[in-house]
Chain A
Amino acid sequence: MSNSMDDVANHAQALLIIGSNTTEQHPVFGSMLRQAVLRRGAKLVVADPRRIDITEFATLHLRHQPGTDVALINGLMHIIVQNGWEDKQFIAERTEGFEDFQQVIQEYDPERVSEITGVPVDDLVKAAEILSLNKPMAVMWAMGITQHIVGVRNVMDLANLQMLLGNMGVLGGGVNPLRGQNNVQGACDMGGLPNVYPGYQAVTSAEARQKFEAAWGVPLSDQIGLTVTEMIPAAGEGKVKALYILGEDPVMSDPDTNHIRHCLETCEFIVLQELFPSETSVYADVLLPGVSFAEKSGSFTNTERRVQIVRQAIQPLGEARPDWQITAELARRILQAGPRQAQDAPYASWDYTSTAEIMQEIAALTPIYAGVSHARLEAGERLQWPVKDGRHPGTPILHVGQFSRGKGRFMPIEHVPPAELPDDEYPMLLSTGRVLYHWHGGQMTRRAQGLLAIYSESLIELNPEDAQRLGLNGNRRVRVTSRRGSIVAQAWITDRVPPGMVYANFHFPESPANELTLAALDPVAKIPEYKVCAVKVESAT
């Protein structure tokens, strides 16, 4: 997020939530936003194909067709420019590329946008008005924006909107992606990505590479590596022969389960470090017991770039070990056996005695974490990166006064339809995601008795009209089939989903939504299009 959650909740006059089921996926922030509406009268526009919970608090709900976000955003910007609501000073002083951009949005007149998105023209105008006349306005989004073949375009278009309205670098504004997992921000920050070292230093930059070669005492690869959505298929083709997996369950969380199973089956050797046996451990050769967050100390970084301490509360269960110790031990053994060995270098070694010591190494090599230390966190300092040195207080708001690249660049972006749309054979549209009571592949929440008691089996959301058309009567079990697989689950007949659309979650191995999903990827971010694929739904007797 460019801004902080409390800042958005306290200062935004208008809120745009698009592709985020905030009250279920980021519940505490969701309740902060509810309060912003209830107590301060902030104006909320929700753009989502589903009538998700937060729409109850919305001034306006735009129920656009899945996969038409760019058209919708372009349409709003078209209306904004037509009415002269854009922030001309901000555009002149802090941005470039406005001319080319404007030519594209000119094509998105309300009638055309209404046709593509299914949103009435009146609502488009109303939304544009609310979002531009109440300043500052903050945009929030999550996987509903990114899990599309056009995920990156969607994100860039939201940045366009915020530059157009001058809502960058100000309290209560900004572009605010809500990161899913508790430490997905940290995993990215720490170089858990195929193209960057910690702190987003590119592996293709000779300078960055030399820096890490000098630090770690080895020559490093200058080739961008494989993303998860490439790595596992590569295992299926025999190009990747071994996998070392830490606490992930690709069988549950990756697209097109049948294909994933085949790939893992083919992979010659898999080391899995996990809490529980999982759908993925079936394919593992070595299973190393790691520990839960309660059994180790270190830090997580939340969605607003806030680095926070994690404290050990209990001893590791059984013989399980903190994951950092396991990785370090594997590293030591492999380096020792050679022939690839590390030369004498400041950070070549793996002899860590604590995570505080690892954080010192991170700080030394990662400019955005340069001033982060466990000592500061333990002393109660509240640090949001970039933290430039040991005395820098951190950065609650990004892009104040200037973007990191200097001027903000408007990107002309065109609407592209989803990879797989309903047709005669598979007439309905499937979108997937999570529910309030469960988490991801469900490995933890299905083992939490309270959560399981409240939500104990997968429910497929189905509109009453469709239910009637399918003749569901008393029988509420449905079979959902795509070109890739088929699942059976209980239907939840509800107008949360519009006619023609079903929604499924991937928390339960008995009816895993990813049997159905399509591995169509965004060409840049390599994110699968989880929010749109074509299915058929039948009564399951």
Chain B
Amino acid sequence: MDVKLTINNTPITATPGQTILEVARQNGITIPTLCYHKDLSPVGSCRLCVVEVEKWRGQSAACTTPISEGMVVHTESPAIIQSRRLVLELLLQNYYDAGYAMGDRPQDNEFIHWVEHYRVTAPRQAQPRFAVNSDPNPVVWVDFNKCILCTRCVRACAEVQGRFVWGVAERGHQAQIVAGAGVPMLEARCESCGACVAYCPTGALDNRMSVGLGAADRKVLTTCTYCGVGCQLDLNVKDDVPGGRVFRVTSNPNAPVNGMHLCVKGRYGYDFIHHPDRVLRPRVRRYLLQGLPRPEHDRGEWVEVDWDTALGIAAEKLRQTREQHGPDSIGVLTSAKCLNEENYLMNKFARQVIGTNSIDHCARL
């Protein structure tokens, strides 16, 4: 049985059991939220999402209120706007911004987004209550001066990662987010997956390696290079160097396998891409350039050469080996880290070009 209700004077048909927020979102009506996230269990604590329901007393949190037949809802009445501004103002009073550029902000800072949307200004300058950068975790940046106590990190860690690192200590004005019993994250058994960062709406938790680097010029959705789970993620690119550089990884909610979740390697293991050890020009051993036989033990020194030289030597040596010793004297090792298309070509190379079936990769290892 469908439920009929009205939101902002528009008649809407919905499925029983849905909340006002869910129905509104499905129908393209925006209701601001902070503590709510669709992947996490609702707590209804921040009260930014309040709406008016005709004939009901007070205002109701849209994220936790189920719809009912004949309900008449208003999401942007003057009284509602007034309440939301009050919520934001109270939070802003404690929101101390030390002034470094935030990871992905301002675009993705949900809190600041709503503050600006409702034109809220702080009645007085917020004071720092905590040390900026208060946890030594090598990949997660912690600055609780920006914490609004929405508890999304607490729920993300418990409900996405299954790790229970974060909790709320004390109550009322003293309330604060703590790792374990007030210890560093790693001691509270954090696995540095960054889920809490991905779900934090303010930048209180951020990606340490890219704090201060600001927003990406481009985000490219691709597939993780590490394990066989096949998570998809957004490579964040800056175009401030020729060709661009990857400087951060963020979640993409549309990833088929993993949604917002990633593990520590997928989220924080990207900087090998630009590591100075990268081989950037082809190399061959000097004896090959001199046309000499290979030195007995050590293969001798490397010489950087152009592609034509390197490919010419490699192709000719492989060809000669095949002509002298037959196709099975050559072995091909393809790679479980490379593309399907590349593996196909390696298979075609071994079988068509060389004429051997001796091709394998490290599946066994």
Contacts and interface: CB of A to CB of B under 8 A. Distances in A.
Interface stretch (A73-81, A123-131, A357-365, A469-477): A357-365
B243 A314 contact: yes
A267 B213 CA distance: 48
B256 A382 contact: yes
Given A240-B330, A311-B222, A225 B359 contact: yes
B289 to A, nearest CB: 11
Contacts of B263: 27-28, 31, 436
Contact of A268 (B231, B321, B345): B321
A153 interface: no
A421 B273 CA distance: 41
Contacts of A254: 365
A337 B280 contact: no
B227 A528 contact: no
Interface stretch (B17-25, B104-112, B336-344): B336-344
A10 to B, nearest CB: 13
A117 to B, nearest CB: 25
A186 B229 contact: no
B220 interface: yes
Contact of B329 (A240, A286, A530): A240
Interface residues of B, number: 118
Contacts of A57: 162
Contact of A242 (B311, B331, B347): B331
Interface stretch (B45-53, B81-89, B173-181, B185-193): B185-193
Most chain B beta-carbon neighbours within 10 Å: one of A187, A268, A275:
A187
A182 B339 CA distance: 10
A33 to B, nearest CB: 9
Contacts of A308: 223, 230, 232, 256
Contact of A337 (B161, B193, B315, B350): B315
Contact of A247 (B221, B328, B335, B365): B335
Contact of A287 (B209, B282, B335): B282
Nearest to A301: B340
Interface string A159-195: 0000000000000000000111111111111111111
A197 B346 CA distance: 11
B280 A289 contact: yes
A192 B364 CA distance: 12
Interface string A21-33: 0000111110100
A448 B329 contact: no
Interface string A440-474: 10011101111101100000000000000000000
Contact of A454 (B264, B280, B285, B355): B264
A276 interface: yes
The interface residues of chain B, by DSSP majority, are classed as: mixed
A319 B280 contact: yes
A26 B218 contact: no
B299 A285 contact: yes
B353 A335 contact: yes
Contacts of A247: 335, 337-338
A289 B245 CA distance: 18
B196 to A, nearest CB: 13
A186 B343 contact: yes
B319 interface: yes
B268 A323 contact: no
B364 A528 contact: yes
A231 interface: yes
B314 A271 contact: yes
Contacts of A224: 357
Contact of B336 (A5, A182, A217, A298): A182
Contacts of B335: 183, 187, 192, 246-248, 323
A331 interface: yes
Nearest to A39: B159
Contact of A228 (B232, B264, B333): B333
Contacts of B329: 239-242
B156 to A, nearest CB: 11
Given A231-B331, A246-B346, A454-B264, A340 B360 contact: no
A317 B244 CA distance: 9
A192 B341 contact: no
A362 B346 CA distance: 12
Given A182-B230, A331-B345, A451-B265, A241 B321 contact: yes
B318 to A, nearest CB: 6
Contacts, number: 488
Interface residues of A, number: 155
B267 to A, nearest CB: 9
B337 A182 contact: yes
A269 interface: yes
Contacts of B363: 179-181, 184, 187-188, 192-193
Contact of B223 (A25, A225, A309, A321): A309
Given A334-B353, A445-B265, A187 B220 contact: no
B222 A448 contact: no
A444 B227 CA distance: 13
B279 A275 contact: yes
Contacts of B119: none
A327 interface: yes
B228 A5 contact: no
Contacts of B208: 450
A83 interface: no
Given A216-B351, A240-B358, A318 B229 contact: no
A102 interface: no
Nearest to B221: A311
Interface in A484-541: 525-528, 530
A181 B362 contact: yes
Given A216-B352, A253-B362, A288 B277 contact: no
Most chain A beta-carbon neighbours within 10 Å: one of B220, B232, B275:
B275
B193 A27 contact: yes
Nearest to A527: B364
A184 B161 CA distance: 25
Interface of B: 138-139, 159-162, 186, 191-193, 208-209, 218, 220-232, 235, 237, 242-246, 256-258, 261-266, 268-275, 277-285, 288, 294, 297, 299, 302, 307, 310-319, 321-323, 325, 327-365
18 contacts: A25-B227, A183-B338, A184-B336, A184-B361, A185-B228, A193-B361, A235-B331, A242-B318, A301-B230, A301-B340, A310-B222, A313-B220, A318-B280, A324-B341, A333-B316, A359-B341, A445-B272, A447-B275
Given A39-B159, A448-B269, 7 more contacts: A26-B227, A28-B266, A192-B347, A275-B279, A288-B310, A293-B225, A451-B268
Pairs of residues from A and B, 10 with the lowest C-beta to C-beta distance, nearest first: A318-B280, A302-B230, A315-B243, A225-B357, A34-B162, A27-B263, A298-B339, A225-B358, A191-B347, A181-B336
